[in-house]
Structure 1
Amino acid sequence: MTKNSGDPAVAAPAEAKDVRLTAGDVELRIAPENGCRIAGLRIGDTELLRQGERYGCFPMVPWCGRTANGRFMNGAVSHQLPVDSPPHAIHGTGRHTAWRTVRADRTEAVFSYELTEPWPYPGLVTQIFELTEDALTVRIGVETRGDSFPAQAGWHPWFNRNLGGADVRIDFTAGWQEERGEDHLPTGRRIDPRSGPWDDCFGMPDGVDVTLTWPGQLEVRVTSREQWVVVYDEQAEAVCVEPQSGPPNGLNTQPRLVTPIDPLEAAATFAWRRL
């Protein structure tokens, strides 16, 4: 969940090191040295994402949302992660890491980084961007370099709440809502979805499918084969729709093991049409 991740906007890093993809009048700007986040997604003259070093759209890997007290188990072995959203660890290490550009052309780019401390297991993370005139598809792969370990992957986009007209409307149908405790972690109880405002995780057993509509301007549909999405709309400037491979604290409650023969692979598509 995301309530504490809305840090004050600061100047973005120098754009000279950004990787830019284009398709028609759509431009995608990726900042590999700033967590391989999407620094900008411009459709025509409209910037879709909130600007700033901590915003845009960043990958959540090797875990998503909060991990309780920064601790997780791998079998009988306990591990402690840095507590960067007290009392929890939040959103993984990938967003704090400089990624390597593997290749980039006009409409596709591939980046990677090696898992290392403070994550306790060696591994390789790869992120792929594929841009067309009406959609962006992003993919993450997590491989182990040795022992198996639990992991998660997802994306945390900060969509501008207002694009110069009416505020955005968020529409979706969820199978359930993860009940949120006072510590902002799911309690383990699934409840009927409630109306917003939200800083909550929803389950979609047929895959994530959320539509954002800026009336008279743009419609963006967020889809993924993954079954969990966090929706956050408590900030005045932006809203977040975060497809992910498991719920917050999922390293502990729903561990998905990355093994030498079974990497973790996740994908999401952001498709748009002009209104």
Structure 2
Amino acid sequence: MSDEDITLTAGDAEVTVRPGNGGRVSGLRVGGTELLRQGERFGCFPMAPWCGRIRNGRFLDGATLHQMPLNSPPHAIHGTARDGAWSVVRADTDGAVITYPLVEPWPYAGRVTQEFALTPDSLTLTLSVEAHDSSFPAQVGWHPWFNRALVRADGSVGEDVRIDFTPAWQEERGEDHLPTGHRVEPKPGPWDDCFGMPGGVDVTLTWPGQLELKVTSREEWVVVYDEQREAVCVEPQTGPPNGLNTMPRQVTLLEPLEATATWTWRRL
């Protein structure tokens, strides 16, 4: 199937998926209101086969040292899957499946699969990585850019979003923007930080008087980024930044790495 844009609809919710632009969700509209920041680099892109930054772009697999391109010097950031064109396996009215082959510079053969399932009040995202020849460490996650403020039907701009969550800890962030390995009490924002939620990610975004959206996942790691004026990011993922070195999840020929996140919304 082609890599043309996919439009999913359910009730008054509409989602646009762009396989040809890194397999990202480029739009989520509820009642005609766009929730995601627009632009080629924004929307919500998949992070695979790693999330966030890898220190100096290097990771160890056993005794083998691998070097990834430094696309956010001095680090490598957000994986390779967002940079390629994905293939459409299935596209229905309210769901789709797309895939991406792991190719150079990633040193292992494998495949990333994304599944999207839309209902009138939720979008469920499933992301998996499978190995083809040999096992390897990996991470998966999502990097959504939610608009800080929503545009009302009359063209006026609403209030800024409020972010509510209760993490068990915050990963102490070093000067290089990577976790130091120490866990600290959660601090007030602004954030570009990783938090631990052992019971599963549960973050609520509230645009006062307009909409509430909950981001949930069984995974226990979430990066929250709200240092830009236009948007905020709530990123469920299977491990912390630099996790290929500090907390690798091994993908084997028999066991893929799979994660799911759900966005659920309601009008206010």
CA distance in 1, matches of 2:29, 2:118: 12
2:37 equivalent among 47, 50, 62:
50
The aligned residue for residue 153 of structure 2 is none
Dislocated runs of 4+, deviation >6 Å = none
1:227 to 220, 230, 233: 220
Per the alignment, residue 239 of structure 2 pairs with: 246
State the match for 1:263 in structure 2. 256
Structure 2 runs not aligned, ≥5 long: 151-156
Residue 146 of structure 1 aligns to a residue whose secondary structure is coil
1:28 maps to 15
In structure 1, C-alpha distance between the alignment counterparts of 2:67 and 2:142, rounded to whole Å: 23
Distance between the aligned counterparts of 2:76 and 2:5, measured in 1?
Answer: 28
Gap regions ≥5 residues in structure 1: 1-15
- Among 104, 124, 137, the alignment partner of 2:91 is 104
Are 2:164 and 1:171 aligned? yes
Match of 1:7 in 2: none
Q: Deviations over 1:113-139 (max 9, x none)?
A: 110100000001100000000000000
Alpha-carbon deviation of 1:25? 1.1
Does 2:117 correspond to 1:117?
Answer: no
Distance 1:106 1:45 in 2: 17
2:193 matches 1:206: no
Equivalent position to 1:154, from 130, 136, 141: 141
Q: TM-score, normalised by structure 2?
A: 0.96
TM-score where L is the length of structure 1:
0.94
Note the alpha carbon deviations across 1:39-87, whole angstroms, 9 max, x for none.
Answer: 1000012000000000000000000000000000101111000000000
Distance in 2 (CA, whole Å) between partners of 1:134 and 1:29 is 16
Equivalent residue for 2:118? 131
* Distance in 2, Cα, partners of 1:61 & 1:113: 10
Superposition deviation, residue 17 in structure 1: 2.3
> SS state of the match for residue 251, structure 1?
helix
State how far apart, in whole Å, the 2-side matches of 1:103 and 1:45 are: 25
**2:259 is equivalent to residue 272 of structure 1:** no
* 1:188 counterpart residue number: 181
The share of aligned pairs that are identical, in percent, is: 70
Task: Tell me the equivalent position of 2:76.
Answer: 89
71, 74, 80: which is aligned to 2:67?
Answer: 80
